[in-house]
A and B are shown apart, each in its own frame.
Chain A
Amino acid sequence: MRRPKNKVAEYFVNIYRSLATIAAGMGVTIKVFFQKPVTLQYPDELPVIEEAFRGLHIYEQEKCIACEMCVKACPIDCISLQYEGKGKKARIKSYRIDYTKCLFCNLCVEACPTHCIKMGKEYNLCSYDRAGCVRELAEDIYSERSTVSE
Chain B
Amino acid sequence: MSVDYLHTHEILVNMGPQHPSTHGVLRLVVKTDGEWVTETQPYIGYLHRCAEKIGESVEYPQFVPYTDRLDYLGAINNNLCYCLAVERLAGIEVPERATYLRVIGAELNRIASHLISYGTFGMETGAFTPFFYGFRERETILSIFEKWFGARLTYHLCRIGGVMADITPEIAQDIRDFIKTMRAVWDDYNTLLSFNEIFVRRTADVGVIPPEMAIEYGLTGPCLRGSGVKWDLRKNDPYCFYDTFDFDIPVGEGLMGTVGDSWDRYWVRMREIIESTKIIEQALDRMPEGAIRAKVPKILKLPKGEVYVRCENPRGELGFYLVSDGGTKPYRLKIRAPSFCNLSITNAICKDCLLADVIVIVGSIDIVLGEVDR
Which A residues form the contact surface with B (CB < 8 A)?
A: 1, 14, 17-18, 20-22, 24-25, 27-29, 31-32, 38, 49-54, 73-75, 103-107, 119
Please tell me if B43 contacts chain A, counting CB pairs below 8 Å: no
B contact residues, total (Cβ < 8 Å): 35
Q: Is the CB of B136 within 8 A of A38?
A: yes
CB contacts (< 8 Å) of B64 on chain A: these are: 105
A25-B192 contact given A1-B255, A50-B146, CB 8 Å threshold: yes
Interface of B is mostly: helix
Contact residue among B61, B65, B197 (Cβ-Cβ distance under 8 Å from A18): B197
CB contacts (< 8 Å) of B164 on chain A: these are: 106
Q: Considering the chains assembled together, what is the distance between the CA atoms of A38 and B143 in angstroms? A: 13
Q: Is the CB of A54 within 8 A of B136?
A: no
A54-B151 contact given A29-B129, A38-B139, A105-B156, CB 8 Å threshold: yes
Q: Considering the chains assembled together, what is the distance between the CA atoms of A21 and B191 in angstroms? A: 7
Most buried by B among A20, A50, A105: A105
In this complex, what residue of A is CB-closest to B198?
A: A18
A17-B150 contact given A25-B129, A75-B66, CB 8 Å threshold: no
CB contacts (< 8 Å) of A14 on chain B: these are: 197, 201
Q: Is the CB of B65 within 8 A of A75?
A: yes
Q: Considering the chains assembled together, what is the distance between the CA atoms of A31 and B139 in angstroms? A: 20
A28-B156 contact given A17-B197, A18-B197, A21-B197, CB 8 Å threshold: no
Q: Considering the chains assembled together, what is the distance between the CA atoms of A86 and B250 in angstroms? A: 60
Q: Is the CB of A25 within 8 A of B196?
A: yes
Please tell me if B72 contacts chain A, counting CB pairs below 8 Å: no
Q: Is the CB of A22 within 8 A of B196?
A: yes
Q: Is the CB of A28 within 8 A of B61?
A: no
A52-B165 contact given A14-B197, A21-B196, A25-B192, CB 8 Å threshold: yes
In this complex, what residue of B is CB-closest to A123?
A: B152
| Residues of B135-183 contacting chain A, CB below 8 A | 136, 139, 143, 146-151, 154, 156, 164-165
CB contacts (< 8 Å) of B149 on chain A: these are: 52, 54
Please tell me if B200 contacts chain A, counting CB pairs below 8 Å: yes
Please tell me if B241 contacts chain A, counting CB pairs below 8 Å: no
Q: Is the CB of A21 within 8 A of B195?
A: yes
Q: Is the CB of A1 within 8 A of B192?
A: no
Contact residue among B62, B156, B198 (Cβ-Cβ distance under 8 Å from A73): B62
Q: Is the CB of B58 within 8 A of A104?
A: no
A54-B66 contact given A22-B196, A25-B191, A106-B156, CB 8 Å threshold: no
Q: Is the CB of B197 within 8 A of A52?
A: no
Q: Is the CB of B62 within 8 A of A107?
A: yes
Q: Is the CB of A52 within 8 A of B146?
A: yes
CB contacts (< 8 Å) of B62 on chain A: these are: 73-75, 107
In this complex, what residue of A is CB-closest to B293?
A: A110
Please tell me if B47 contacts chain A, counting CB pairs below 8 Å: no
Please tell me if B188 contacts chain A, counting CB pairs below 8 Å: yes
Q: Considering the chains assembled together, what is the distance between the CA atoms of A50 and B256 in angstroms? A: 44
Q: Considering the chains assembled together, what is the distance between the CA atoms of A14 and B198 in angstroms? A: 9
In this complex, what residue of B is CB-closest to A69?
A: B298
Q: Considering the chains assembled together, what is the distance between the CA atoms of A134 and B74 in angstroms? A: 30
CB contacts (< 8 Å) of A21 on chain B: these are: 191, 195-198
Q: Is the CB of B58 within 8 A of A75?
A: yes
Q: Considering the chains assembled together, what is the distance between the CA atoms of A121 and B156 in angstroms? A: 17
Please tell me if B118 contacts chain A, counting CB pairs below 8 Å: no
Q: Is the CB of A28 within 8 A of B191?
A: yes
CB contacts (< 8 Å) of B156 on chain A: these are: 103, 105-106
CB contacts (< 8 Å) of A31 on chain B: these are: 188
